[in-house]
Amino acid sequence: MPVISLFAWMLVIVFLAFVACMFEDLESDVGSQSNPNSQVQLAPEMGYIHRYYNKAISGEGLSYALACTIAGTIALLLLLQFEPTYGPKAAILAIPVGAAVGSISHMIRSSVCYPGREAAHKRFEQPIYLDVFYGHLVPIATHNFIAVICITAIAYIQSHLTVLSGVSGTSNPFPLPLLCLIWGITVGAIGSSTGDIHYGTEREFQDRPFGEGRRVIYHGQICRYGDCGIRTSKDVVAFCAKYGGPATGLTFGLIVLFENWRTVIGMMLGGLTGAAWNPGIAAASGVGLGIAVAIVLIVLNTWLVRWARKKYGPFVGE
Amino acid sequence: MEPITLVIILVCIIIGGMLGSLGVHLLPVGGAPAAMATATGIATGCVMLMTGSAVTGLFTASSVATFWESNPSVLLVSLSGGVGAMLMMGFTMLIANLIYIFGAGVVPVSGRAAVDPITKESQTEYKTPRTDGHGVPNVCFYSGIVGGFVGGFGGALIYVVLVSSGYAGFSVETAVVVALGIFIANAIMAAYNIGGTIEGFHDPKFKERIVTGLTCAFVISLMCGIMVLIAIETGTLGAGGVL
């Protein structure tokens, strides 16, 4: 029974991871952060005056590590204050309040970025649109809040897993803020590596031919018109929420799923605590399972690339 | 502390740091151009990608290290970290390819090799003109998997040597922060050495710059290792190096 509880908590963590990374990517789209923002930054220099939100606080990994660590630290302080009195119920207050502080700090950094970056573009006649500025701050904060609250909840569950699941020795030894830092870096790195492609390759250059890499001569010449009227970054997030965002969430969800799954299965094969517990077998089983999953991934990618080459064929055009 | 133990800690930190640097050189990093399918590789920076994968491995390694009441197996914990980082890289590259193929209609193709050195698939005719390739082709995927494993192994090796009561005996928190610090310093130097984008072991840049990169990693890790030894011997990080 405790093992089932452990698996149930693992699946809760995976679900939260999916939501966290999806909203992380969508937040980076609505605020235009990370790699595709290089085109938003370049556009005025190419004569393309735009109404995109221009925010690149830092790399996504670092900015999310900061927001999540702030959230985790505040949550830990509240837990230390209220857990002795209210027990685990203190998390109901601590996690949302921590995430709110983290997302507000993120919003403040975002609000400084836009005027600063666009003011630097004055020589290219790029205005600072106040409606763009005000209109994007709340979507940035809300998307960020969902991502940060999920990460903080994941960190809380992982650092309290022994209490929650009833299986001894399953809590991660890292304290809550450190887990927030780790998952913040990871969620940012994944959001930057995968979700950005849908925004950068497709949405920013939607008026260019589909099915080819964006040539260097196109750089900076971003698509500025929406289905109706002039495009803003809010139109970007609606588009990317249909494919890039969920795919990014899937990446982090699968990573967390298989990382926890192989550890838990390894623990079961090692005897799951008690007299028969053999840490060597548990660790080696986890490593073996991980290598098996990696081999499956290699086969899948080889097949996928081969399929794409056959289906799409060589490049046609000039 | 026994001099031989101090030497082992120093050697493990140097090996871990150098493996981290080697891992960064093996990753297919496309940087900002890859986000527009203008360059082959993953659409982010070297440091961010390597750190993201290494901390994922470190998370699993820390869980595995708690399997032992004291003196965790250095090899098994490091392998767990390596496999964790490898899986992170594998899933990221696979889903990135799904977005390239189905979200942008782009065929993954190498910009630096006319023929894939492993699968022997031709690359040039699939490449969009005036780009440096796009997507994560098979050779880059294999290189990324190996790079993730090597980097994750190095990061976890530093962590387990620092946290093990048979070696440095740091607290978990101190060990992970020190390990991350050494790892990120090496990753940043490797990123400077690469200077932009790299596709993996088949990239001409790899052969040109790997020696310089590893030499830098050796020097940095040696300096970091000496700092750690001073902290252990003087008890700077709390009594006896334990916070």
CB contact under 8 A, B107 and A270: no
Q: Say which of B37, B73, B133 has its CB closest to residue A214.
A: B37
Burial classification of residue A210, based on how many CB atoms lie within 10 Å of its CB (0-12 exposed, 13-18 middle, 19 or more buried): exposed
- The pTM for the full model equals 0.95
Take residue A207 and report the two structure tokens written for it.
């008026």
Could you give the ipTM of this predicted complex? Answer: 0.95
pLDDT grade for A170, boundaries at 50, 70 and 90: confident
* Residue range A103-152, pLDDT digits in tens: 999 999 999 999 999 999 999 999 999 999 999 999 999 999 999 999 99
Overall average pLDDT of the B84-105 stretch: 96
Residue B151 is encoded by which pair of tokens?
């980097």
Region A303-307: mean pLDDT is 97
Looking at CA atoms only, how far is residue B16 from chain A in angstroms?
19
CB A22 within 8 A of CB A245: yes
Helix runs in chain B, H state only: 3-26, 31-35, 46-65, 74-98, 138-163, 172-194, 204-234
Q: With 90 as the cut, is the pLDDT of residue B196 above it? A: no
Chain A CA closest to residue B135: A213
Q: Give the sheet arrangement for strand B132-135, strand by strand.
A: B39-40, B132-135, B109-110
Residue B240: per-residue pLDDT: 47
- Residue A221 above 70 pLDDT? yes
Q: What is the rounded average pLDDT for all residues in chain B?
A: 92
State what percent of residues in chain B have pLDDT above 70.
97
Q: B38 to chain A: which residues are within 8 Å by CB?
A: 213-216, 219
Query: Quick one: CA dihedral A185, A95, A254, A1, positive or negative?
Result: positive
Confidence of residue B237 (pLDDT cuts 50, 70, 90): low
Domain boundaries of chain B, sorted by first residue? 3-231
pLDDT tens for B134-143 read 999 999 999 9
Q: Which of B63, B80, B122, B128 to mutate to test the interface with A (most CBs of A within 10 A)?
A: B63
What is the pLDDT averaged over residues A291-307? 97
For residue B130, give the nearest of A217, A286, A309 by CB distance. Answer: A217
pLDDT band for A273, please (50, 70, 90 cuts): low
Q: Do B56 and A259 touch (CB under 8 A)?
A: yes
